[in-house]
Amino acid sequence: MLAGMTTNVVFGLLRLAIIAAALKAAGGAIADYDIAAINTYVWIGQGLLGFVLLWGNNELAERVRSGDVVVDLYRPWHLQGALLAQDVGRGGFAFLTRLAPPMAFGMLLFPFQFPENPARWPLFLLSATIALVISFGVRFLVELSAFWLLDNRGLYGFWNVSSGLLCGLTVPIAFFPEWARDALWASPFPALLQAPIDVFLGHGSVAKLLLYQVFWAAVILGIGHVALQRAVRKVVVQGG
């Protein structure tokens, strides 16, 4: 845990240094980010990364591969619901160990943009929780693909590499050219990371951001549910 925290903070410092340098070169601000906003963006991003768990452990896919998924399938539960509950529980712990520490680190050591309206704190938490649900939904789909692909490591790897850029972890979505910005906001990806950060920073309308997130949470969980039913119908359990 301590090692994870150290890595997280070191990467945060790196990202901060790079984006701050870009900011300086651009004359102090890019889009609606000044140095305080960028610092806030980086440390919330570092925290959310572990809280929403952008990159999962592909455990379900491994269980499909080995055939251990039979155990998950004969229980009297809805597998997706059960795993979601498990992930929300994990989020409760990750809130304390993964989200709060880097945020506190950024607040204490760097200029930080606190929300003007205190109501944004609970709204940020709500937005982060919806982001966690969407993140679960996307990971569930990536893992479920193992029922068809058998070996989903390609897709899993692709998600791990591309999600940082698509979700607004690498640089804020606001830094992208207009066409890319529009395209991304029409996709679910910014809902995973950029949306909660925007809620905290007061970029854009909170109501709109939350609605956008809720919409994608419903769509992605819905697709997951249908995909699971399909998968179960065609299931071929591996290994005897």
Partner 1 sequence: MIEVRELRREFKVATSKGLRRNYKTVTAVDDVSFDVQAGEAVGYVGPNGAGKSTTIKMLTGILVPTSGHLRVSGVDPSKQRRDLAKRIGVVFGQRSQLWWDLPLGDSFDLLRSIYRVSAADYRTRLDECVELLGLQELLITPVRQLSLGQRMRGEITAALLHAPELLVLDEPTIGLDLESKERLREFLADINTRRGTTLLLTTHDLDDIERLCPRLMVIDHGRVLADGPLAELRAEVTPERELVIDLREPGPAPDVPGVTAVRSEAGGLRHHLTFRRAETTAAQLITQVVRQVEVHDLAVVEPEIDDVIRKLYQRQVQQNTSR
79 vs 191, beta carbon nearer partner 1: 79
CB 133 to partner 1: min, Å = 21
Tell me, rounded to whole angstroms, the distance of Cα 237 from its chain centroid: 31
Q: Does 22 bind partner 1 (CB under 8 A)?
A: no
Per-residue contact flags (x/-) with partner 1 for residues 39 to 68, judged by CB under 8 A: ----------------------------xx
- Count of residues making up the chain: 240
56, 125, 171, 173, 195 from 179: Cα distances, Å: 30, 30, 16, 11, 18
- The pair of three-digit structure tokens given for residue 136, joined into one six-digit string: 């679960």
Contacts with partner 1 by CB under 8 A: the residue count is 18
118 vs 240, beta carbon nearer partner 1: 240
Contact pick of 75, 116, 122, 179 for partner 1 (by CB under 8 A): 75
Q: Does 71 bind partner 1 (CB under 8 A)?
A: yes
- The pair of three-digit structure tokens given for residue 30, joined into one six-digit string: 């890019």
Are 41 and 201 within 8 A, CB to CB?
Answer: yes
Instruction: Kindly state the helix (H) or strand (E) to which residue 28 belongs, with its residue range.
Output: none
Q: Which listed range, 2-10, 164-172, 206-214, 232-240, lies at the site for partner 1 (CB under 8 A)?
A: 232-240
Q: Does 233 bind partner 1 (CB under 8 A)?
A: yes
Contact pick of 27, 76, 118, 122 for partner 1 (by CB under 8 A): 76
What are the beta bridge partners of residue 61? none
- The pair of three-digit structure tokens given for residue 60, joined into one six-digit string: 């379900």
Q: Does 2 bind partner 1 (CB under 8 A)?
A: no
Q: Does 1 bind partner 1 (CB under 8 A)?
A: no
Contact pick of 21, 29, 109, 237 for partner 1 (by CB under 8 A): 237
CA quadruple 194, 196, 201, 207: dihedral sign: positive
- 34: closest CA among 191, 17, 26, 206? 26
Q: How many CB atoms lie within 10 A of CB 102?
A: 24
Are 7 and 102 within 8 A, CB to CB?
Answer: no
Instruction: Kindly state the helix (H) or strand (E) to which residue 84 belongs, with its residue range.
Output: helix 79-94
Q: Which listed range, 24-32, 77-85, 153-161, 211-219, lies at the site for partner 1 (CB under 8 A)?
A: 77-85
Q: Does 77 bind partner 1 (CB under 8 A)?
A: yes
Please, which of residues 99-158 interact with partner 1 by CB under 8 A? none
Contact pick of 22, 31, 35, 73 for partner 1 (by CB under 8 A): 73
**Site residues for partner 1 per CB under 8 A:** 67-68, 70-71, 73-78, 82, 232-233, 235-237, 239-240
